[in-house]
């Protein structure tokens, strides 16, 4: 049976759902058998309240732009139909799911929680297992996994969902052969994906070369050590790195 995921992201009027902040944008990308199908769900929403200044700065969305957009209640049925039965791939899922669950409750949708109609996999939790002690924001993961995000000057739900889909595919590559991507009762669960070992990723290892700036900082550090100690124990090797 085909495995279906929906990569999802939202933008909101502010950071705290408990303070009544609302969803302003939803972006979803469909994957079937680890391939983008071209099906998307993307809506801007009128939140019915002002946006925090920080949200405007980060997303570029304004109350004026959103004024003629539909409320969440007008798109709830279409949204639920799109995500129903899928494995939802979300970065920092607690944030997005909290806001969407609030929206579902406010409009008295037949499904009050996303977890009641889909399974949820948090790529932030997966990234923290794969890369402990490192930054695991979407931008950091794009950089680490060689995914081009230079066009991401502002946060946008659909753009971020596109990037997250690429991040997800890169982080989980090779799992099909290991039998970790399992399905239970005909519905993809994603539970197997969470146990992937870092060594499961395939491909040639990346060779990291120091930049000119990193070399300059290295030379400056050697100079400071030499001044502090009166001798330079690595001075004989200082020129080797450029070979």
Residue 22 and residue 100 in contact, taking contact as beta carbons nearer than 8 Å? no
From residue 102, alpha-carbon distances to 24, 52, 61, 66, 89 in Å are 13, 18, 21, 19, 19
Residue 151 has pLDDT above 80, yes or no: no
Instruction: Write out pLDDT tens, residues 189-209.
Output: 333 323 232 333 334 444 455
pLDDT, tens digit (0-9, with 9 covering 90-100), for 118-149: 999 999 999 999 999 999 999 999 999 999 88
* Whole-number pLDDT of residue 212: 62
pLDDT at 238 exceeding the cut of 50: no
Q: Name which CATH class applies to 4-200.
A: alpha beta
235/233 Cα distance (integer angstroms): 6
pLDDT, position 155 = 82
Domain boundaries, the chain: 4-200, 212-242
pLDDT, mean of residues 78-101 = 98
β partners of residue 122? 90
Catalytic residue flag (residue 21) = no
Q: Name the pLDDT band for 36 (thresholds 50, 70, 90).
A: very high
> Residue 152 has what pLDDT?
73
Give yes or no for residue 220 having a pLDDT over 50. Answer: yes
Q: Give pLDDT, residue 85.
A: 96
Q: Which of 42, 91, 151, 155 is catalytic?
A: 155
């Amino acid at each position: 049976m085909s495995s279906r995921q929906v990569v999802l992201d939202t933008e909101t009027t502010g950071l705290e759902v408990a303070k009544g902040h609302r969803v302003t944008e939803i972006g979803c990308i469909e994957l079937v058998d680890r391939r983008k199908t071209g099906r998307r769900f993307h809506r801007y929403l009128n939140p019915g309240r002002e946006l925090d200044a920080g949200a405007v700065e980060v997303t570029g969305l304004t109350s004026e732009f959103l004024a003629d957009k539909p409320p969440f209640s007008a798109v709830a049925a279409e949204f639920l139909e799109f995500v129903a039965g899928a494995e939802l791939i979300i970065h920092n899922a607690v944030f997005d799911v909290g806001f969407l669950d609030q929206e579902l409750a406010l409009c008295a949708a037949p499904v009050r929680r996303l977890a009641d109609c889909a399974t949820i996999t948090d790529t932030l939790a997966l990234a923290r297992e794969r890369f402990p002690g490192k930054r695991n924001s979407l931008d950091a993961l794009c950089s680490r996994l060689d995914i081009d995000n230079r066009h991401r000057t502002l946060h946008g739900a659909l753009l971020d969902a596109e990037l997250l889909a690429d991040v997800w595919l890169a982080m989980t590559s090779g799992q099909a052969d290991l039998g970790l991507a399992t399905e239970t009762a005909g519905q993809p669960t994603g539970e197997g994906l969470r146990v992937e070992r870092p060594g499961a990723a395939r491909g040639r290892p990346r060779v990291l070369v120091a930049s000119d700036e990193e070399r300059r900082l290295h030379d400056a550090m050697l100079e400071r050590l030499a001044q502090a100690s009166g001798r330079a124990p690595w001075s004989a090797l200082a020129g080797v790195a450029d070979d």
